Each structure stands twice: as structure tokens, then as C-alpha cells.
Amino acid sequence: MTRNARGPVTETSDRGAQLGYRPALDGLRAVAVVAVMLYHGGVGWAAGGFLGVDVFFVLSGFLITSLLAQEWRRHGRINLRAFWLRRARRLLPAMLVVLLAVAGYSFATDQQSAQLRGDSLATLGYVSNWWFMVSGQSYFAQFVEPSPLRHTWSLAIEEQYYIVFPLLLVVLLGRMRLRLTGVRALLIAGTLASAALMAFLYQPFTDPSRVYYGSDTRMQALLLGGVLALSPSLVAAARPVYTRLHGRLVPLPGATVVGWLAFVGLLLMFTAARELAPWMYRGGFLLAALLSAALIASVSQVPRSSLARLLSLRPVVATGVMSYGLYLWHWPVYVIVGHGRTGLDGPLLLAVRMGITALLAYASFRLVEEPLRKQRLQRRFTPTQWARVVSVSLVGVLSVMLFATASAQAPALAPTTTLAGRPAPVPDAQGRLVKAFLLGDSQSYGMRNYYGNRIDGLAVNGSTQLGCGTLLAERHLDGQTFPNLPACAEWEPRWTQEVAREKPDIVVLMLGLGELYDRRVDGRVVKFGTPQYRDWLYREVDRRRELVKGHAGRFALTTALCMKISADAANPTTAVANDPDRLAWLNETIRAYGSTHPDVPILDLHATVCSNGFTEEENGIRLRDDGLHLSELGAALVWDRIGPAMIQAGK
């Protein structure tokens, strides 16, 4: 605890907002969390819903700063220990339950256990935003199923704020003896500095995960909330201002109008903003924070306005009260409950996900959050006993997490084949063995993983960098460019060396999902389906032929498989992936390349299971796991049909 040597600050200019409970603020939480859930659910008109996190940041900065400033005014000190215990009691128990659930699921299904240990420990320590950054887990990777704890980056930033900011206040108010007005000026400077740092560090057409995850670059919203809390004139109850019109007094537009404008502006950003748009990193996030602050100020000044009443509707408030649980649970549910596991798609899949999330959040609120917040459980124990219960619980959670990831294996798209595969390639009846090297994306990886040496005379190896398309120019869609992961640039030199070392009989380049997008090439967008795109595609193929020349017997192309991807968080751009006309153009272009290059065989992968269009099953065999990647049995069927052609092409 720290006390100002001059006693409590009492000047009226520093009198903060003593708001009491404002249900409209819970309503704003509901708007924010629903926006995030819709965004992560791949809803097209909510493509800017990621800004719901920034609304949470501003709200947190506002409320926490209000509480701390109010305590300083009343007592001339801030009880750091009590503050941190309240925060831990409010946030940590529900987080521990989620960590246990995710660890248990990972252990039971043996999925993602390699990365989950680091993710879980970083989440428990509230440093997951920095962990995801240094471990190369891009927030924007579209072709790899993300960690079920990826969303905890924002919770980490908030918790870091809760730890550092009260200490900063103690130093500024107690040691440096600043007034709250001086603190407010520093927070304004910090807000602008954070926004400027984001703009400085952002590099167009590269992965912006550093500035998206960074506590330093995202602190602008939290600090702006603090500025609002220390600006009493912006949140104190507003008195109506009138003017005389035709002899009558008419109220002038005030806080309510500003609030409605901010609310509409925020909704427009929820629909129009894009997470990779350059303008977002050059002031867009600050704009969202400013709109959020204006909205908070409006409903605080006029708590009975039409906007405040709308946000105070009982269902909206109830959603806001459970917003922490909704946020905690929604992402693990979305990652686990997908098309491949449910067979559902579109709005029905989203409804199931949101329904499961709501049930889990309600259970968390009733059974975990509320009892601990009101200290119902604590009353059953003495302080010493309760301390032991907490310590044992933390140790237990940590032990379960470590045990669940003890047998971690390298992350893979699919488990090791369990079909009756043979331990080594088998030559054909004449003793020949064609060595094929598959070069491609995650579809190619899945086919190799499920091959099982099932075809006499064919050995299969290859190279894939999960999260990277087969061709490395950045994908472009809907006005924004999707940057490659840093590892993508390292892939080409690696597979080139692998081909030179193995000297396969045939290198097979598999094109697929990534080749259905527009591409950004040399600073300009090349539109899919145009002659310019065809020329670019052919140049890319020619370059890869040159890279393997002298190290492989032959070079071949495959046509692309049909696909039908669910509109979910793992891949929100389903309109491109599921367009049969795009796929037909790509395959015609691939065949045309073969007709003008007789030395390049075209292996018709598309014809193996797509000759009659996309189908989930054939002869009782489920062909795909998720609408994109072949299942174990589906891959076996494809290999039986295309394996002989690959052998023939490699001779």
C-alpha cells in the first residue's frame, strides 16, 4: 500500500466518475462478445467483429482505472494486494476450468499436444500473446487448425495491464506526487504513443501478428479507457442544454446523439473493417477505441437515454454478464466442433457452436465465477484452509496440463496411418521401384501421411510447410492481401535441397486451394481467371521445373481435387474454395500446360473422386475429414486409382 504524503486528493477537478452499476455497460459487453463470436464463426457481414476485443479493452481500462482512482481519492492509497486478489478471483478460476477441459480433450484425442503444452503454460502465466508471437503462431494463418487457446492473447494483455497499471499509479500518485490530471495527460501521451508504434512497426503485405499481438501496440485501447475514467466531465451525468426555437425551449443534441453516432460507427466498423487492411494499423484500431470510449461516455452521462435503454434490455445485459465465459469457451468450441466432426455447415453449424458455448458459459458463471466472486465457497473454510485449497488446485491443474502433453508428438494434419500398410516400399513384379516426391500443401501432406506403401512399385516422399500454399505469392481477396507465414519463405530452399539429396524418379507438383485466389505479384494484384494469372501460374511451374532439373527424372503436375469447406474460423473464404467454376478453370489451365509441354505428365487427381462433382462418400467410404483433406480411407481409394499412373509417369 502507498499513501500520498499530502493526504487524499480532494480537488473537484479530479473528482472521478462514481458510476455505480450501469447495465448499459454490460449490454456493450454483449455487443462486443457477439461480434467476436460471429467473426470467428466466419460470418461474412461480421468480418470486422474482431474489433469487439478493442471494445473490451476500452471498457476494462475505463472500469479498472475508475476503481483505482476512486480508491485513491477516498483513502489516499491503493491496496495492491486486495486489487490483485479481486482480479484473480474474478478471472483465474474460469480460465483454469477451460485449461483443464482443453488439456483433457487433447489427451483423449491426441490432438495438438505438441504445441498445447507451451500454449497452456503461457495462458496460465498470462503471457500467451508474446508466446504466440515468438513461437510463430500467426493470428492470420488460414490453412492450419489453430490452437484452441489462441484467443487468450487478449486476456493476457488485459492481465498484464491489471498488474502493471496499478503499480504505475502508485508510483505516479505516491512517489512522484502527481495529481490525477497529470496522470490523465500521461495516459493520453501513452495512447498516442501506442498507436504510433503500431503504425511504425506495421509493414504492408507481411504478417502483422507482431503488432496485432503486442501488448505495447494494443495498449492504446486500455489507456484510452483510463483517460475516459479520469475525465469526469465526459462521464458525469449530463444536464440538458436548451435553445429557444420559435419561442419554445428545445433541447440541443448532446451525449445521446454522440452515443448513437458512435454506436452506428462501431457497427459499421464491425461490418466493413478487415483485420489485414493497412488502414487498421494506421489509426483504424485507435478509431475503434475512440468510438467505444464515446459510447461508454454517452451511456454513462445519460443512463436513461434511448441508446442506454436499448443496451439495458434484459437479454442483452444477461449476455454481457456472461461475456467472460462466452469469450473463454467460444474459441475452443469453434476449433473442436467443426464440419468434419459434425457434418454441419453454415448457419446451422454456427448455431450449434454458439449454443454449446452459451451452455458452457452459463455453467461456468453459475458454478464457478459467481460463487467465487461472492465468496460463497470461501466462507466454508478458514483463511489458512482456503489458501491450501487454492494452492492444491493450482498445482493440480498444472499437473494435469503437463501430464496431458507428456507424450507430445510433432503436430500433424492427421494421425499416422492405421490401415494395413507395409513398413517399407515394395518393388513391383519386375523388381522396379519408382520414387515419387510430392510437393504441395496440406492436401499433399495428408495423402503422403496416409499412403502406407500400399502400391507395389511406388515409394512416396515429399515436402509441405503447413500453413503455406503450394505457390508462395500472397493470396488476395475482398480488398485485402493475406500475408504468408515467416516459415513459408524458408520452405522453398528446404525442399529444393531435399530433392537434390533424394534424387527421386519424379517430382509431382500438387496445386490446390491456394491457387484459386487472386495473387499479389510484384506489388500488383493478378486476378484469378485472367490471361495474366495463367501466365503467372505457368511461370511459377516453369521455375519449379528448373529448380529440380538435374536432380529428378521427371516433373509432373496434378489437377486439383474438388472441395467443399465449411464457413468457419479455420477458413472464412469459402466462396473461393467452393466455387466449381474456379476449380474448373484451374484444372483446364493445368491440362493446357500439359498439352503444350509434352514432357510434363498431368496426373488427373480430380478424376479419381470428383468426376461427378463433390461428394462426401463413395461406395460407403467417407472421402474427406473436413471437406478439404482426404480421410484415411479416402486417401487409400485415391492412391489405388492414381498410383499406377504415377508409376507410369516416373518410369
Mean pLDDT by 10-residue block, N- to C-terminus, for the chain (651 residues)? 35 41 93 95 86 96 93 89 88 90 80 72 91 80 71 95 93 85 93 96 79 95 95 70 55 75 96 85 96 93 89 95 96 84 79 94 91 68 63 65 52 41 81 92 85 90 81 79 75 90 94 89 90 95 93 94 68 73 94 94 94 86 80 89 92 84
Q: What is the CATH number of domain 434-650?
A: 3.40.50.1110
Cα dihedral 51, 54, 56, 61, rounded to 10, equals: -170
Q: Helix, strand, or coil here: 520?
A: strand
559-574: b or e for each residue (b if 16 or more CB lie within 10 Å)?
A: bbbbbbbbbbbbbbbb
**Which residues have a Cβ under 8 Å from the Cβ of 429 and sit 6 or more positions away?**
456
Q: Whole-angstrom Cα distance, residue 87 to residue 91?
A: 6
Give the Cβ contact number of residue 165 at 10 Å: 19
- Residues forming beta bridges with residue 510, ordered by sequence position: 558
Q: Give 177-228 as a DSSP string.
A: ---HHHHHHHHHHHHHHHHHHHHHH--TTS-THHHHH-HHHHHHHHHHHHHH
Q: Whole-angstrom Cα distance, residue 384 to residue 361?
A: 30
Q: Are 318 and 28 in contact (CB under 8 A)?
A: no
Q: Is 467 exposed, middle or buried (0-12, 13-18, 19+ CB in 10 A)?
A: buried
Q: Whole-angstrom Cα distance, residue 533 to residue 525?
A: 10
Q: Are 352 and 59 in contact (CB under 8 A)?
A: no
Cα dihedral 520, 522, 523, 527, rounded to 10, equals: -40
Give pLDDT, residue 453.
87
Give pLDDT, residue 217.
96
- Residues forming beta bridges with residue 437, ordered by sequence position: 461, 507
Q: How far is CA 92 from the centre of its chain?
A: 21
- Compute φ and ψ for 378, nearest 5 degrees: -60, -30
**DSSP state for residue 508 in the 8-state scheme:** E
Q: Give 307-351 as a DSSP string.
A: HHHHHT-HHHHHHHHTHHHHHHHHHHHHHHS-HHHH---HHHHHH
Give pLDDT, residue 411.
40
Triad 559, 563, 565: Cα angle to 5°: 150
- Compute φ and ψ for 192, nearest 5 degrees: -65, -35
**Which residues have a Cβ under 8 Å from the Cβ of 273 and sit 6 or more positions away?**
47, 48, 50, 51, 280, 284, 288
- CA proximity to 363, closest of 396, 325, 330: 325
**Which residues have a Cβ under 8 Å from the Cβ of 544 and sit 6 or more positions away?**
439, 507, 509, 555
**Which residues have a Cβ under 8 Å from the Cβ of 38 and sit 6 or more positions away?**
46, 49, 350
- CA proximity to 64, closest of 190, 174, 158: 158
Q: Helix, strand, or coil here: 248?
A: strand
Q: How far is CA 592 from the centre of its chain?
A: 39
Can you read off the three cell numbers belonging to residue 454? 500400399
- CB hemisphere CA count around 580 (13 angstroms): 6
Q: Are 363 and 329 in contact (CB under 8 A)?
A: no
Q: Whole-angstrom Cα distance, residue 343 to residue 625?
A: 10
Can you read off the three cell numbers belonging to residue 463? 515436402
Q: Is 524 exposed, middle or buried (0-12, 13-18, 19+ CB in 10 A)?
A: exposed
311-350: b or e for each residue (b if 16 or more CB lie within 10 Å)?
A: bbeeebbebbbbbbbbbbbbbbbbbbbbbbeeebbeeebb
Q: Are 295 and 256 in contact (CB under 8 A)?
A: no
- Residues forming beta bridges with residue 557, ordered by sequence position: 509, 602
Q: Is 252 exposed, middle or buried (0-12, 13-18, 19+ CB in 10 A)?
A: exposed
pTM of the model: 0.72
Triad 295, 355, 100: Cα angle to 5°: 95
Give the Cβ contact number of residue 355 at 10 Å: 12
Domain ranges of the chain: 12-237+254-333+346-404, 434-650
Give pLDDT, residue 281.
94
- State which amino acid sits at residue 438: L
Give pLDDT, residue 391.
66
Can you read off the three cell numbers belonging to residue 136? 510463430
